[in-house]
Chain A
Amino acid sequence: MTSATAHRDHPETAAEFVANDARAHWHDQSLWFVRARRDKASQTLPEWEELRERASKVKLHTMSRMADYLEQFERNAIALGAQVHWARTPAEHNEIVLGIIQKHNATRVVKSKSMLTEECHLNPFLERNGVVVTDTDLGEWIVQLRNEPPSHIVMPAIHIKKEEIGELFHDLLGTEKGATDPPYLVNAARQKLREQFLNAEIGLTGVNFAIAETGGFVVCTNEGNADLGVSLPKVHIACMGIEKIIPKAADLGYFLRLLGRSATGQPITTYSSHFHGPRPGGELHIILVDNGRSNILASPEFRRSLNCIRCGACMNTCPVYRRSGGHSYSTTVPGPIGSILAPTRDAQEHASLPFACSLCGSCTDVCPVKIDLHNQLLTWRRELALKFLVPFDKRLGMSLAAAVFARPWLYRVGGAIARRVFPWLPRMLVYNRWNPWGRQRELPEMPAQSFRALYARRKRNHKVPSDQKPASR
């Protein structure tokens, strides 16, 4: 898992990904394809922007009364027969899950995709305690077999080519060598996963939306694995971050319509499974996890990031994510939203993430719940500078530049000298390893005079403006 490896900053991990040009372009194009599908799907709904507005309002309202809605949810869920647990930290969450498993003397768990359990590093914890966990979402299972974290929150194995999956399956499942045919590989996976489903004693799922009014919740999958995973075993554990709460069942429509379209361009995810209390004779445990979320809730700057419904659209649209891959972020949730959430957990470790962004703003325009992602990334940069977590050379450079800009005479003279000296410098002195600009780019040509000099001359010459008048409305 990422947490076990030494931490590296984004520019370094990104440069490694970009170095494999063919792969980086393949990754970029696969995700752009999804983004294009999202555009088409969103354009089929004339009310798209209104939906975004409403969803965002519902979320903001929920956040203003988060505690009330959570308690209402708890009451109603208990009334339906569920058992509700609260966890402040990943460790508490993992202990609760293990406790339930041990109470049932179980060792085999099937899990449907849940980013929260990734966030809590549940799998390695359970494995250390003798529990066999199988991720049943195909992509999630593939990354589990490869012993690596997902690289995307909706398409966890988007970074892996089908040839690589063929090889992996050949080694682990005994499929034919060199086979890359997706239906064939999927079928092989299905056979193997079926065994896991049949043998499982506990089914574990995430939660997409929990409804305060009813005490029920919804899990969205495309493979139906959440349904299968909790149909056979008697015990269902559902893990949710506290921000998954929405007030009413009637609000659900906004989110379900936005989620599938934003995520993959589907009108709706194939399965939206509703759970209201345990099945007859079974047990339903719901674990509500904080892990830093109430801190975010308390900060006016970043509160909006809790709007997130984890559709992944901001990743698909992010030109940096597409070219650097999810693993380059070294955090469970990558991309724009991950770069906001990660520093709230550990600002020092993730200080490079808010800078892994050109501030293009595409994420803000694509986000179905209107999180102003790029502005929050900018705010993070400010916070990091206040905490002295912006690299020293960057801070020094900016202070020096600001000192020059505060003195017009110094700025003028400095500019004039630079423009005069630069063209005479030998290339080696300008283009070397200390000049990252010049590795692949030329510097601009230096003009003899600045604008202010030319403007002053123009004014002296009383140059009359051209008599050509533009057309006017």
Chain B
Amino acid sequence: MPRVGLFIPCYVDQLYPDVGLATVELLEQCGCDVDFPTAQTCCGQPMANTGCTEAAKPLARRFLEIFRDYEYVVAPSGSCVAMVRNHYHDLVHEHPDFEAVHTKTFELCEFLTDVLKVDGFPGSFPYRVGLHQSCHGLRELRSGKSSELNVPGFNKIGGLLESLDGLQLVSLQRPDECCGFGGTFAVSEEAVSCMMGLDRLHDHEQSGTQVLTAGDMSCLMHLQGLIARQKKPLAVMHVAQILAGRKPQLPA
């Protein structure tokens, strides 16, 4: 029974508790012994991405210490995992726990496919699903082939989703363009950020998406914010919620 330390990013903890619960349910379904260490808060990504390295370092150290004793660390967020896996080196490479922790930290879907070798989940989800390939999941963790590279195609999140009965992945004009969230970018470059988000939504609408999903709740928070303001007929769910059998709240 793999012993998993659950890492629930701060904003998921505070704003999207059901994404966390769905993650726990999925991991338990797959036979993991899941534990959520309550001392955790934030991995330090917002600070590091803004250049405030000194503010991020103590948070990175805390992260290593909290999670060092688990067999694996799993999070429902590609972006936060990319922070730990690819960018902790710049912050805390000299820490005694760095090496161990950063190599055993996984994004939920890659953990399911690569470590647990799960092929799919039972259940049905008879909807047209638009997968938003979050950039950090895609290009930092390689959860799928990015459209720029000339390498064989694969898609870890899409593969899991398609195992559900009736689920139909839509194909987009621009399969993996950024939604414009980008952390503090969403605020400091508000105009471009929102134009990017609206363009993504337009692509999904044109392609017939009913349920918009992603492995990163942060992209979805931005897109959902635009959907809610514009009252667009799109439901938004984290991929963990779909896999765990939640039903979408489709607009009437």
Residue on B nearest A44 in the bound complex, by CB? B150
Verify if B167 is at the interface (C-beta below 8 Å from A): no
Contact B121 A471 (CB under 8 A): yes
A14 touches B192 (CB 8 A): yes
Count of residues in B whose CB is under 8 Å from the partner chain? 91
Contacts of B174 in A (CB 8 A): 32
A347-406, CB < 8 A from B? 354-362, 364-366, 378, 380-386, 390, 394-395, 398-399, 401-402, 404-406
On whether the beta carbons of A472 and B52 are closer than 8 Å, the reply is no
From A166-174, A187-195, A442-450, the one touching the partner chain is A442-450
Known: A408-B38, A454-B21. A385 touches B50 (CB 8 A): yes
- Contacting chain A: which of B99-107, B124-132, B141-149, B206-214? B141-149
- Are B150 and A365 touching (Cβ within 8 A)? no
Q: Note all chain A residues with C-beta closer than 8 A to B51.
A: 354, 378, 380-385, 390
Q: Residue A152 at the B interface, CB < 8 A?
A: no
The main secondary structure of chain B at its interface with chain A is: helix
In the complex, what residues of A have CB within 8 A of residue B149's CB? 49, 365
Which of A14, A361, A453 sits near B189, CB closer than 8 Å? A14
A319-B178 in contact (CB<8A): yes
**A365 in contact with B148 given A355-B185, A401-B46, A402-B58 (CB within 8 Å):** yes
A437 cross-chain contacts in B, Cβ below 8 A: 186-187, 190, 225
Within 417-473 of A, Cβ neighbours of B (below 8 Å) are at 418-419, 436-437, 439-444, 446-447, 449-456, 458, 465-466, 468-473
Contact A415–B14 (Cβ < 8 Å)? yes
Known contacts: A394-B188, A441-B229. The answer to whether A385 contacts B53 by CB under 8 A is: yes
Report B33-74 CB contacts with A as 1/0, cut-off 8 Å: 000101111101011111111011011001000000000000
Question: For A468, what are the chain B residues with a Cβ–Cβ distance below 8 Å?
Answer: 29, 122-123
With a cutoff of 8 Å between Cβ atoms, the chain A residues found around residue B14 in the complex are 415, 418-419, 450-451
Complex CA–CA separation, A401 to B43 (angstroms)? 12
- CB pair B25–A466 under 8 Å, yes or no, is yes
A398 adjacent to B47 (CB under 8 Å): yes
Given contacts A399-B55, A444-B224, whether A405 and B10 have CB atoms under 8 Å apart is: yes
**Is the C-beta of B238 less than 8 angstroms from some C-beta in chain A?**
no
Q: Given A357-B185, A442-B225, A443-B225, do A362 and B41 touch, yes or no (CB 8 Å)?
A: no
Q: How far is the CB of B55 from chain A (nearest CB, A)?
A: 4
Pair A449/B17 contact, Cβ less than 8 Å? yes
- Pair B29/A470 contact, Cβ less than 8 Å: yes
- For residue B241, CB closer than 8 A to chain A, the reply is no
**Alpha-carbon distance between A358 and B195 when the two chains are bound, in angstroms:** 13
Given contacts A14-B189, A18-B191, A18-B195, contact A455 B29 (CB under 8 A): no
Q: Do A42 and B180 have beta carbons less than 8 Å apart? A: no
Docked-complex contact A395 and B52, CB < 8 angstroms: yes
- Measured CB to CB, the closest approach of chain B to A283, in angstroms, equals 44
The answer to whether residues A360 and B191 also contact, given A398-B50, A405-B59 and a CB cut-off of 8 A, is no
Choose among B48, B189, B192, B194 the residue with the greatest number of A CB atoms under 10 Å from its CB: B192
Q: How many residues of A contact B (CB 8 A)?
A: 85
CA distance A458 to B23 in the complex (A): 13
Q: B226 touching A358 by the CB < 8 A rule?
A: no
CB pair A444 B50 closer than 8 Å: no
A318 to chain B, nearest CB (A): 9
Nearest-CB distance from A123 to chain B (Å)? 30
Render B8-38 as a binary contact track against A, CB cut-off 8 A, 1 for contact.
1010111111111100110011110000101
**Given the complex, which residues of A lie within 8 Å of B180, measured CB to CB?**
319, 358
| B139→A440 contact, CB < 8 A | no
| A431 closest partner in B (C-beta) | B229
Contacting residue for B122 out of A408, A442, A450, A471, CB 8 A: A471
Chain B residues 104-125 with CB under 8 Å of chain A are 116-123
In Å, the complex CA distance between A173 and B75 comes to 63
Contact A398 B46 (CB under 8 A): yes
Q: With A358-B135, A415-B13, A440-B229 given, is the CB distance from A402 to B150 under 8 Å?
A: no
The contact of A359 among B49, B56, B122, by CB within 8 Å, is B49
Question: What residues of chain A have their CB less than 8 Å away from a CB belonging to chain B?
Answer: 10-11, 14-15, 18-19, 21, 24-25, 28, 32, 39, 42-43, 45-46, 48-49, 317, 319-320, 323-324, 354-362, 364-366, 378, 380-386, 390, 394-395, 398-399, 401-402, 404-406, 408, 411, 415, 418-419, 436-437, 439-444, 446-447, 449-456, 458, 465-466, 468-473
29 chain-A/chain-B pairs, Cβ below 8 angstroms: A19-B191, A25-B199, A45-B150, A46-B150, A319-B177, A320-B189, A360-B177, A365-B146, A385-B50, A385-B53, A394-B50, A398-B46, A398-B47, A405-B10, A408-B39, A436-B187, A437-B186, A441-B197, A442-B229, A444-B225, A450-B13, A451-B12, A452-B8, A454-B17, A455-B24, A468-B29, A469-B31, A471-B163, A473-B117
Interface contacts beyond A39-B148, A439-B194, A441-B197: sample of 19 additional A-B pairs, CB < 8 Å, sorted by A: A10-B189, A319-B180, A320-B196, A323-B196, A356-B189, A364-B139, A381-B50, A381-B51, A385-B53, A394-B52, A398-B50, A405-B59, A408-B40, A419-B14, A419-B15, A441-B228, A441-B229, A451-B20, A473-B118
Leading 10 A-B pairs by shortest Cβ distance = A358-B182, A441-B225, A381-B51, A385-B51, A361-B139, A465-B28, A451-B20, A360-B178, A365-B148, A402-B55
